[in-house]
Amino acid sequence: MRLAGGIQWFSAYEVIETGSRRTLPVADVATLGERGAALHAMIVGRRAPLRLGEQASLFDEPLIAGILNVTPDSFSDGGACGDDPAGAAKVGVAMVAAGAAIIDVGGESTRPGAPVVSEREELKRVVPVIERLVVVGAIVSIDTRKAAVMAAALAAGAHIVNDVSALLWDDRALEVVAKAGCPVVLMHSPDPKAGPHGGGGYRDVLVEVLDWLEARIDAVVAGGVDRARIIVDPGIGFGKSLADNLALMNGLAAFHGLGCPIMLGASRKRMIGALSNDAPVGERLAGSIALALKGAEAGVQLLRVHDVAETVQALRVWRALRDRAMVGADGFEPPTYSV
C-alpha cells in the first residue's frame, strides 16, 4: 500500500495495543476492527494538496520549509538577520532558489529560557520581511504563538500559520486561523500554556504525543478549521528527552494515522549535539541531514530545515536511489510526480 498516497510503500503494520507489539500484514488489517479500519484509511489516504492562493503544492514527496529567524537570540542563527528586513528577505529568496517550497518566518525564539517578545516587537521584526518575500512570489508561513501577529502576518501576505503551541498559548489564535481559512501547523509540546519546553516525562512518548495531537485536531476542527488544512508536528526537542526524541523519530510513520500531513522540525536540534560529543549548533549539518532522510523514509511531507541547499541535494539523491531500487526484473517503473 502507498503511505499517505505518496511515493513510499509498506506491506505490514506494527500494532501497539495494551502494552504489546506485533506485526500484522496489510492484508489482515480487517482483523483490527472498526478502529483499525479507520486508522488504515487515514494512513493510506492521499493528502489534499496544499492550496495557497493560485498555487497548489502536492505532498507526493517531501517539501522543504526553510527557517528564516529574524531574532537576536535564536538558538541556531540569532542575530544573523535581525534589524535588516531587506537582508532577511534576500536570505529567504535564496532559500527559494535553492529549492525551499515555503519560507518559515519567526520573530520570537523558542529556545529553552528565551524571553517572551512583545506583540509590537514581534510584528516589527516579521511584517516587513513577509511583505518583501510575498512581493517576489514566495510562499510564507508565520512562526508565532500570538493571535495579533498571526492576523497581521496573514494581512501582509503570509499563507500559513505555524504555532508551536497548537493554538493554545493565545486564546484568540483559533478564531484568527478559522476566520482566515489558512493552513495551520499544530505542534506538540507538553504544556503549551507554560511555554514550549514545559511539562514532565512520558510513559510512552509515541502513544501520548499521538493521542494529544488527535485530540487537538478534533478541537481545532470543532473551532471551525477545515481538517484538510491542518498539518501536524510531533515537536522534536520541545519538552522531550533524548530518548523521547529518538522514539518519536523511529515512530514517525505512526503519525500518518492522524490523516494530516506531517511536518518534521529536527534541524540542528540539541539531540544531534548530544549524539556527537556536544557538537555546537554550527556543526550539526550531517546530523540534520540524517534526520531529514529518516523523515523522508517515514513519508513525512514537510521538512523544516536551516540548511536548504544541502537538504535538497540529499533528498534528490535519496529519491533517485529509491526510485531506481523499485525498478524490478519485470520492468516495473515507479510513477514519478512533479511538484
| Residues tagged active-site | 269, 304
Alpha-carbon gap, residue 125 to 199, rounded angstroms: 29
Q: Which amino acid is at 69?
A: N
Alpha-carbon gap, residue 148 to 176, rounded angstroms: 8
How many Cβ atoms from other residues are within 10 Å of residue 76's Cβ? 17
Q: Which amino acid is at 41?
A: A
- Helix, strand, coil % in the chain, rounded to nearest 5: 45, 15, 40
At 153, list the grid cell. Answer: 502576518
Identify the CA nearest to 255 among candidates 3, 5, 1: 3
Q: What is the DSSP string of 157-180?
A: T--EEEETTTT-SSTTHHHHHHHH
Alpha-carbon gap, residue 95 to 64, rounded angstroms: 10
Half-sphere exposure (Cβ direction) of 35: Cα atoms closer than 13 Å: 4
Alpha-carbon gap, residue 118 to 134, rounded angstroms: 24
